[in-house]
Amino acid sequence: MISESARVALGISPWDASDYIKCQKDIDAFMEVMFADGDPGEMMDALKVVIKALERMKNANNENTQNESIYEKYIQNNNPTIYDSISTLDTLGYTLTVVPKKINYKIEEEKEEEHEDNHEDNHIKASQAERLTA
């Protein structure tokens, strides 16, 4: 990583993703990508970037919206809670949904199929045993 003094000496501006978010479509695309892996750190960073972009857009339009409280919770809070995250997502018009991972689902499906096969095998064995003892 380049030092702050070297960056300034070279005339390099710090890169900020929020500078490239200009509309709701940009926010939606950014959130989708940042939440895709399910990495909590990336999710928190994404919320901060979106809030910063919204704050910048609000200031550019001289608007006074409810995003100020979101700004306080996320940008100024070093350790937002899961409640803060869900509340912020809700305020931004998103919902957090929990879905099973495909890999876990396949494992469960295989176990269920195996269980059904074992159950069927046990039923056949019991029927055969009844015939032999009769």
Q: What is the CA radius of gyration of the chain?
A: 26
| Calpha distance 22→52 (Å, rounded) | 11
Could you read off the pLDDT of 94-103 as tens digits, one per residue?
A: 998 887 777 6
At 91, list the tokens: 């305020």
Query: What's the pLDDT band for 88 if we cut at 50, 70, 90?
Result: confident
Higher pLDDT: 9 or 119? It is 9
DSSP letters along 86-116, please? Answer: HHHHHHTT--------HHHHHHHHHHHHHHH
| Mean pLDDT, the chain, integer | 78
Domain coordinates in residue numbering, the chain: 4-97, 99-134
Could you read off the pLDDT of 5-48 as tens digits, one per residue?
A: 877 787 777 788 999 999 999 999 999 999 998 898 899 889 98
Full-prediction pTM beyond 0.85?
Answer: no
Higher pLDDT: 69 or 22? It is 22
